[in-house]
Amino acid sequence: MENKNLILFICAVLSFFAVFAVNSVMVVIPTIAAEFHMNNIVQNWAIIIFLLVVAVLSVPAGQISGKYGLKKVTIISVVLFILISIANVLVTSSEQFLLCRLILGISLSFFNVTSMAMVVSAFRPEERGKALGITITGVYIALSLAPVLGGILNYHLGWRSVVLFGVPFLLVILALLFTKVDEEWITFGGIPLDVKGSVAYGIGMVLFIYGFTILNTSLGVILTVLGIIILIIFGLIELREAHPVFDIRFFKNRKFLSANFASLCAYLATFAVTTILNYHLQYIKGMDSQTAGIILLAAPLCQVILAPIAGRLSDKYVPQVLAAIGMGLGTISLLLFSFLNEATSIEFLIVSMIIYGIGFGLFSPPNTNVIMSSVPPKDTSVASAAVATMRTVGQAMSLGILTLVFAFVMGNVPIVEQYYPLLISSCQITCIICMVLCVASVFASLVGIKSEDSAES
């Protein structure tokens, strides 16, 4: 196996477990909620807290990994992930569970960034789309298997088996990194870390996302506005910084800007869908986690099939057009999801999920190719951080939208049968909001086509 193909394999596996860690737990949240007596808001936070940490740390992770070496940072983050996964199965309360999810998010934020940057560093520009498509296939395989494996493991062995599932595989990845990969890929050697910018970004992002999830309260409005102000200050700091943690000037590149905005809107629009469908199947339809997991396989299976194809197509055709078509299909699927109720047939649900899966599978690899190819090679870790940040901020805020709708429509209550009509209404409203965001992603995908901005090879 050529070294670059080994690196591609390692990064695809890391991409798999980065997604599996989120989506497998999402499927078993009803079981965890029952054990630790979580209400509907806390249930969502079991996922949001994980994504919030990744969103906060992905930007500084790009600079840190570029300074100390992609391989070294990957090894440290994988070791931390393994240790905290083991600790996670020993928790006895919801607070301990949330703390473990927070620390897992720290480790994930780093190998999320380094895996993408290693692929870009190892492959020539003309091979990059195909390589990124394969890496993202790891994401979609995880999306496919997470609900199925998570549901089956939970049904037979309990939710702790789901948390531990990745440990032996990541031990193998560690062995390969230590023995088979010699490159370090230090792109920011000798450059000081932008501590001031990193702190401002972290504080601003935490206040903004947390405030957004409680926007139905006066405190939420205050925190959200304060977060936006601090993020604006972060932007001003970065414009004056000689070596910024994230170079705001990249957004002058229309391709980079439009593709990142399209990515943000896409994840805002789509990530809550899995939670909505899981709640619909387990609560409204009364299915166990194993059956629900098998049905949830429909959408990500389409993404697995399409991701490598879409990656190759993005090397030959205009990737923004492919991404826009994908989000157009996503818009149709969300319109269909907005009609879900207790009478909805499983056949209708599966067809809607297939349309959703085809759409997002066609969107992500071309859009990622645009982002990673629109910056010079030396800045790939920063571009990778942008990809990870848009994804995780979008995912966290997508669940934030669902949580906010829950707060307005349902209030702070456990998800039990008497509140099922309110649960259905909440999910329908969220799908309509997400459909509008899908339309925004279509337009954002098309904006950068006429731009002549390009990276230096």
Average pLDDT over residues 113-139: 77
232 in a structural domain: no
Residue 457's pLDDT band (cuts 50, 70, 90): very low
Residue 363 CA to residue 315 CA, distance in Å, equals 14
| Of 291, 207, 255, 193, the residue nearest 386 (C-alpha) | 255
Q: pLDDT by residue (tens digit) across 206-223? A: 999 889 888 888 999 999
Residue 243 CA to residue 197 CA, distance in Å, equals 10
Position 378 scores a pLDDT of 67
457 in a structural domain: no
**166: phi then psi, degrees, rounded to nearest 5:** -80, -15
Q: pLDDT by residue (tens digit) across 160-170? A: 999 999 899 99
Low-confidence winner among 128-132, 207-211, 439-443 (lowest mean pLDDT): 128-132
Q: pLDDT by residue (tens digit) across 319-370? A: 888 888 999 999 999 999 999 998 989 999 999 999 998 998 888 888 887 8
- Is residue 257 pLDDT above 80, yes or no? yes
Find tokens 């492959």 and name the residue.
123
**Which residue range is the domain that position 397 belongs to?**
3-193+245-450
Q: pLDDT by residue (tens digit) across 371-384? A: 877 777 666 666 77
363 in a structural domain: yes
238 in a structural domain: no
Integer Rg of the chain from CA: 21
Average pLDDT over residues 414-419: 83
216 in a structural domain: no
Domain count, the chain: 1
CATH of the domain at 311: 1.20.1250.20
233 in a structural domain: no
- Is residue 1 pLDDT above 70, yes or no? no
Average pLDDT over residues 389-409: 84
58 in a structural domain: yes
- Is residue 431 pLDDT above 80, yes or no? yes
Name the DSSP letter for residue 289.
H
The mean pLDDT of the chain is: 85
Angle between helix 195-213 and 40-68 (nearest 10):
160
Q: pLDDT by residue (tens digit) across 78-104? A: 999 999 999 999 988 888 998 998 998
Q: Report how far Cα 187 is from the mean position of its chain's Cα atoms.
A: 25
Name the DSSP letter for residue 192.
P
Do 421 and 55 form a contact (C-beta atoms < 8 A)?
A: no
116 in a structural domain: yes
Residue 280 CA to residue 36 CA, distance in Å, equals 21
